[in-house]
Every structure is written in structure tokens, then in C-alpha cells.
Structure 1
Amino acid sequence: MIGLAQSKKRPQVFVYGYGVDAYAAALQSSLSNLNTVWVVNGDKMIPELTSEIISIPSDAGLDAGIWANLLAKTLRSDKPSDSLSAIARRRINPRIVQNVIDSVLKTTQNLTIIEQGQVRSIKKSGKDWQIELADKSRMKVKAVVDASKDAYLYQLAGGKIDSIATRATIPDSYFESAVSSELFRTGVAVGEQDGRAFTLPLSGLIPGDDRNLFLTQRTPVVQHLLTGDEQDIPLLMHVGQAVGAAAAYVAFFKTTSDKVDVRDVQGELLKYGGRLIPFSDVALEKPYFSAIQRTGATGMLSGRISEDGRMYFDADEAVTVAEIKPVLNQLFSRSQIWFVDHADVDTLTLADVFSYIKFVGQRGNELEGQVQKNWKRRFHFEDEYDEQRIATRKYVAVLLDAYCGPFSVKVGLNGTIQR
């Protein structure tokens, strides 16, 4: 037993299984400040990465969160980046990975790890789950994550493996034109299928019932995407982290998975370096990475799928009214009035953006001065400040994120905007 085994704090989230998804779920739950117990039912915690030297070319340029942090640490860096991930993936040394994992877990708070453990029984007790281990120790938790290969806990709790369901069934058509779907706004785990970028919506990863028993790789949409080899590792890491954040949410707020707040879960993932939208041209290390991720998740500035299947944000392209007006009108009640009053505007300038922010965000005339002051220091824009400059997608995303907060407007699990 590792971690806070001596802690008397009552556990809130229980994770069962071994592998990268179990690791990511347990780590995210503990990072979210929930007392977490991880029972590892195998000889190794993460055998996929600690058994032999491997190379992982899949999902290139989409690393983030716990997975990107691990890759960076194998190169002795505490600052993950797309370039470091690309280098680390070429040759993953099992001994180095094991050392990194040991170091991370040693310094992780709120996490108790039981190695080579087994669950004897699991049953619902009121709003909690009551779990008994093989050594007859017992605990009650608010949420359970079953990261086992065979959905062992799910079956032990009375479920049939062919009846596993999530809040929404994600059809094949979603992956063909995901960017046009409202579900895209709820993305929490990115990847590629047949070379085409996607983000998995939260509703495809949380339980269809209200029992708070989450699964990682055994959910239907994830099963559909897995290939059964080491190329699954990036996606499973992202799925595990997303499920860990969702489980932590329901445990913290003492609620059920059908009431999960999409933006809160997404915000928690971004806090720990997650990637919601698979923009491959906005590197993880860019100072405006999170702002563009938040903006992308509103659907206001959606990505472009190129012939190579990758999704591009096109940060330096101009922004037209036609592109942003439909979503902004849904997000902000005052937006429609501004667009009516500025019907002659087609391609936006920074002056237009400031006018919009002041009207919709109810900001004063001090706005321009604030932006000019923060232009390079806070926003890290490289060009010189000029109000008559054409407003690029990067400028619009960052400025609206900072002064209007479109990401703070709630969305439902089905991706519809709720204001």
C-alpha cells in the first residue's frame, strides 16, 4: 500500500484496475482534491508503459494533461510541450517511466494505492457504494471508477457487460463531422480515428443511470475506438483523466452523474493541462492555449478539418461576422442588438471587437487602455497594438475569453447552450 495509506480520511472516490486509464483516473481524482483509493488488481500499475521499450506514433500533436506531463518528465522537464511529447514518444523506456510514476505518486496528496488488491463485493448503500476487499476491509465512497479490462466491478454490482450504456450513444456519424455537432462543445478527451481528429463528448463517458459507477475503456464509444495495442495509450490516458474528473465532481458535490456540469468538468481538465478540442496547430505550451480551448468549446470559432484529417484553428486568419454571430447570439442576450446596430460590419477589426465587448460585456471606455497595457505582458501577442488591425481568430478568442467569458455560459450534456 502506497500513498496516504495511514490516512484516516474517509475515501470519496474508488478506482479499480490497472493500466494508463486507471492511473489517469486515480491521479485526476486526487488532483481534484478528493480522497481517492486506487486498487491495482495486477502485478504492475501501468504494464503498457513499464514492460518494454515502445514507440507511439498515434494521435500525434494531441497530447495533453496527465499524459503530456508524464512524457515531459521522462525527459526531465516539468513543463509539457508538443515538441517534448513528440521526442518522448519515439522511444519510451520502461525503467524511466516507472521512475517517473513512482515520483509522481509519491508526491500526490489524497491518494491511497493498494497494490495487487481485489474486490470481494460492491453494492449500493443509500447514495453511497459499499465496497469490501479480499482482506475484508470495507469502505463507503460516493463514486466508483471501474477501469478493469472486463468491467469486473460493473458485473459484480449486478450489471451485464452487454448492457453497458452511457448518457448518450455516440454514432459513427459523429466522428465524420464532429465539428458541426453540438456535442462537440462538451468534448473532454481528444484522439484520432483513421487519421481524423475528434473529441469525445462527456455524455459518451458517464453512466446512463444515476448510480455513479463510471467505466473507462468498457464504455461503448471507447470500445469502438480501441485497437488493442500500445497505440491506444494516448486516448486511454485522456479518457481516464476525463472520467476521473467527472467522478470527482459527483463525489464533491454529492450528486449524480446525470447532473454533471459540463463546463465545471472541462474547466477542471484545463486546469491540469487537458485538451478539449483537437486543434493541432495551437501547441500546448502557447500562452493562449487554454483561452483558445475554451473558445473552441463554445463553437464560436470552430476548427477546420483539412484533407489530412487534422483540425486546425487557423489562429492568424481574419474573423467575419457571419462566422461568430450565430453562436454569440445564443450566448449573450445583448449580442443580437450589437449585430443589428453594426450591420455594415463584415470582417472585424480590433476596434469592432472592443465595441462588441463594451456593449455585451458592459465594459467602460477604459477597455482599450487595459488591452493595450496587457497586449504583450498578459496576452503575449507578438504584433504591435493597433485598434485598426484586422481581428484574427487568436485575438478574438483571447479577448472575448478575457472580457466576456463565453465559456462560463452553461451547456447541457447534449451540448445545447443554457443561459
Structure 2
Amino acid sequence: MIKKIAVLLLVFNCSISYAQSIKTDVLVIGGGLSGVAAAIQSARSKVKTVLIERDSILCNNLSGKAMEYVLADRNSPSGIWDEFRKHVVDRYHKTPGYDTIYNDPLKLEPSIGAAILANIADTVKNLSIELNTSFTNIVKDGDRWQVTVTQNGKIKTIKARILIDATEKGSVIAKAGATYVSNDEWKINDGTNAYRTSIAMGSFRPYRPLDTSQYKFTYIPSPEYCIPIRDFLAKGVDNLLVAGKQWRQPTNPFTYLRANLNLGQAAGVIAAYCAFYKTTTANLNVRLIQGELLDFKSCLLPFDDIGVDPYWRAIQQICATGMLKGVTEEREHHYVYTVLFMPDSIVTTAEIKPVLLETYTRAFLWFNANKLDKQFTVGNLLSFISELTLTEPDNVRKSMSRDWNSLYHFTSKFDMNRPITRREFAILANKFLNPFARTVDLNGRLVN
């Protein structure tokens, strides 16, 4: 009888132990804007995800009922931000005086914004949300992180392949023993190749008083920026990602609402990649990660003049290779800049030649064999396509003449001698040259 009781107690204790241990692919710590977005995206990328938040509600920093305006990052449709924005407009569109024009500053009550994000998260499969849950310890156990948490006075253990630190102060990084987190936002045209690995974006809009007539101000230039993959990686440990407020963002979450959602979504994709392929952050495939973000309509680069376009992805991919680059222009007020793709502008030989030579070994022979003018023509591109694809030039010309308007829906007439526009070049180069397929490292350098 005593033996039976002992066996029952052993089974009972094992059951309790099992109930207190959770195993998942990705664990997101911190239920703010970036944390919720990271958890949503990770789960949507089909890996098991757990989000823990110490408060009783998600996005607790979105509080209050007074209307707030989203001024920075308001224009470009991108991923979860665009989904969130549509929900906000649906919520308020019948409100008298509410402006639903897309490029008008988005306004909403913070509590409504928090509720919308929570509702989106509730609909996502593969996602478990644990509220009133704080972490107390983090250790690495083999290929998994073992995180001790407290929930309503009870101690639990969560084992995860990937950790995402979405806390306000980078608390997870410190607890895990990471020694450094990269903290750079890269300007679009900063002379480096970092933009080639961009997976999130944003813009800075400095505060200005409504009435400046009585004051003199000197403003720091405020360019739009992109955030490369390497800036999501903690240094000193593998499989720990960063998506919190260590990005030097201000206290008011509305100042960078879209940027926070973009940061979280990007971190979620990296985490899902590592979990799905059972690999580490030391072995990331930049193009696969960027491709997953594009699958979910999340922009890699912030072009304010490219909205709804059937070839939006082609433009993003070509510009991520550096074959075409955005043009920075001043907007609205002095020192506030926007990045434009300028789809109808003409492609110059000088801007595309360096990247073509870097990307394709046969490009050297082609440039030596062809005398080119300053402006790159439709015929020049078709000739290069013929060279790279080993297709007869006449066959390329006939095919393009047939498909120019009917398949690609270009509004111009097919003319081999006409300078090619940036949009036309992006669409055709993406399809026939496919430079986005070339592997790049975390610094944006091509890998042979």
C-alpha cells in the first residue's frame, strides 16, 4: 500500500513538474509595440511562439483617451504597421471630422491602439500570450534558452530556441550576459553597403512648436533610415535578438509607432528563420529573411513615392541590391527629408555600371564590347539580358516587344532607342537578371 502511494506521489510530482515547464521555438519577452509585432510575425511564420508580459495588458505604454497623432513614418504602407493602420481607420472612419486620407497623419486614442494590437495577436495561430509574467533568470542549456518566470506567484520554466528582448531597457540582454548590442540606424545613402541587408525602416520627425514666429531654431538634419540585420543581434551570445527601446527612441511611443512595429516584425522573421531551420544567428541568410518580410508586405527600404504597385516587390528587391538607389529630398520643413524611388526618372549608365560589374562576371566583357551613352536605353538592357541569359538578341527583342504593354502594362511605347525609366529597369532587371538571388553577408558584401 505504501509503495502504491509512493508511486502515485511520484507521478503527481512529475505531472506538476511537467505543467510548470513550457517548450517553445521562440520566446518574446516584453509586450510593448515591438514585442507584440515580433510575436505576431514569428507565429505567422509558422513557428511556435510565446510572448510574456509583466503587466496585465499588452502595450501598456499606450494609455489614455486623448487623441494622439502619428507624425513620423506615416506614409509608406508596410507589413504589420499597414495592417494596424487599416484597423484604426476602420474604427474611426465614421467619426465626424476624422480624415481617412492615407498620407494624412494617423490619429487615435492610445487605448484603442493597444486594444487593436491585442485583438490582432489573439487571432494568430502558434502564439501563446502569458500576462502578469516576469522573468527572473536566464541560462543557456544546450541549444535552448532556459528562462525562469513568475506568473501570479507561481514559478515556471520556459525553454526556447530563440529569445527576443523587447523590454524597454534591454533587461534580457544584461541577464543573458550579452556584452554589446549594435545601435545604428543607417542613412539610405551613407556610402556603405549596410542598406543591402535592411529589414526595417523609419524616419525621424523632430518636434516643432506650432508657432515659431517668436523663436529662432537650428534643427539637426533628419533623414529617413534603414536598419540592417546585424543591428538586431546581441553580441557575445547566439540566438538572442533585440527589438526594444535601446534604439534611442523617445518616451512617447507615437513618435516612432511604425518604426517599433517594423522592428518587431523584422525580429520575428529572424527568430522564425533560426527556429525553422534549426540554426543560429551566426548563420543567417540575409536574402531568405528579406524575402520572408516581403512575403508579408513589409518594406525593406522606405520609398515615399511607391505605394500600391503590382511591381512593388521588384522595386524593393532591385534597390536592396544597390543597382538603383533612393534619392533623398527635403520635405515639408527644412531639415526633414524623404527618400524617393522616382519611378519615371531615367536610368544613367554611371549609376548601374558599378553594381553590374560587381554582380556579374560577364558584365566586364559586355561593357567593353558596347559603347554606351550617359543614359541607359531599353536596347542596352535587352542586350545585357541577352548576354547574361545566353539568349539570341532578336528573340529577346521580339519577346519584349510583344509583352511590353500586354504583360508588363508599361504605359510607354516599346522603343529600343528610348532611355529606360527606373521603374521599367527595376521590373525587367528583377525578372531576367535576378540580382536579389546573389548571397550577401551581414555587411552587405556579395558572397561568391
- TM-score, normalised via structure 1 length: 0.86
The residue number in structure 2 matching 1:397 is: 426
Matched, 1:108 2:124: yes
Determine the C-alpha separation between the residues in 2 that align with 1:190 and 1:149: 19
The residue type paired with residue 132 of structure 2 is: Q
The residue type paired with residue 103 of structure 2 is: A
Matched, 1:242 2:259: no
The residue type paired with residue 291 of structure 1 is: A
Determine the C-alpha separation between the residues in 1 that align with 2:43 and 2:423: 33
RMSD (Å), alpha carbons:
2.6
The residue type paired with residue 137 of structure 1 is: K
The residue number in structure 2 matching 1:349 is: 377
Does the 8 Å CA contact 2:38/2:268 hold for their aligned counterparts?
yes
Does the 8 Å CA contact 2:173/2:234 hold for their aligned counterparts?
no
Matched, 1:145 2:171: no
The residue type paired with residue 207 of structure 1 is: A
Deviates more, 1:311-320 or 1:101-110: 101-110
Determine the C-alpha separation between the residues in 1 that align with 2:176 and 2:126: 26
The residue number in structure 2 matching 1:183 is: 194
Q: Deviations over 1:225-251 (max 9, x none)?
A: x12212022211111111111121222
The residue type paired with residue 46 of structure 1 is: C
Q: For 1:207-218, list aligned pairs within 5 A.
A: 207-218=234-245
The residue number in structure 1 matching 2:210 is: none
Does the 8 Å CA contact 2:357/2:364 hold for their aligned counterparts?
yes
Query: How far 1:103 sits from its partner (Å)?
Result: 4.0
Does the 8 Å CA contact 2:35/2:244 hold for their aligned counterparts?
no
Matched, 1:124 2:147: no
Query: How far 1:66 sits from its partner (Å)?
Result: 0.7
The residue type paired with residue 168 of structure 2 is: K
Structure 1: any 5+ residue segments left out of the alignment? Answer: 1-5, 78-82
Does the 8 Å CA contact 1:72/1:85 hold for their aligned counterparts?
no
Determine the C-alpha separation between the residues in 2 that align with 1:150 and 1:98: 20
The residue number in structure 1 matching 2:28 is: 15
Determine the C-alpha separation between the residues in 1 that align with 2:128 and 2:403: 43
The alpha-carbon distance between structure 1 residues 9 and 271, as it changes in their structure 2 partners (threshold 3 A), is farther
Query: How far 1:289 sits from its partner (Å)?
Result: 1.6
Does the 8 Å CA contact 1:178/1:198 hold for their aligned counterparts?
no
The residue number in structure 2 matching 1:3 is: none
Matched, 1:197 2:224: yes
The residue number in structure 1 matching 2:7 is: none
Q: For 1:315-334, list aligned pairs within 5 A.
A: 315-334=343-362
The residue number in structure 1 matching 2:256 is: 232
Determine the C-alpha separation between the residues in 2 that align with 1:198 and 1:39: 30
Query: How far 1:363 sits from its partner (Å)?
Result: 4.0
Determine the C-alpha separation between the residues in 1 that align with 2:192 and 2:175: 36
Q: Write 1 or 2 for the structure with the bigger share of strand.
A: 2
The residue number in structure 1 matching 2:103 is: 86
The residue number in structure 2 matching 1:288 is: 311
Determine the C-alpha separation between the residues in 1 that align with 2:245 and 2:111: 29
Query: How far 1:291 sits from its partner (Å)?
Result: 1.0
Q: Deviations over 1:52-89 (max 9, x none)?
A: 33111112324411111110122239xxxxx86434x4
The residue number in structure 2 matching 1:44 is: 57
The residue number in structure 2 matching 1:408 is: 437
Q: Percent identity?
A: 27
Q: Deviations over 1:87-120 (max 9, x none)?
A: 4x43214465355334422331211111222223
Name the SS of the counterpart of 1:104 in structure 2. Answer: helix
- TM-score, normalised via structure 2 length: 0.81
Name the SS of the counterpart of 2:158 in structure 1. Answer: strand
Larger Rg: 2
The residue type paired with residue 69 of structure 2 is: S
Determine the C-alpha separation between the residues in 1 that align with 2:56 and 2:282: 35
The alpha-carbon distance between structure 1 residues 393 and 91, as it changes in their structure 2 partners (threshold 3 A), is same
The residue number in structure 2 matching 1:65 is: 79
Query: How far 1:29 sits from its partner (Å)?
Result: 0.8
Does the 8 Å CA contact 1:287/1:380 hold for their aligned counterparts?
no
The residue number in structure 1 matching 2:412 is: 383
Does the 8 Å CA contact 1:263/1:410 hold for their aligned counterparts?
yes
Determine the C-alpha separation between the residues in 2 that align with 1:370 and 1:128: 53
Query: How far 1:381 sits from its partner (Å)?
Result: 2.5
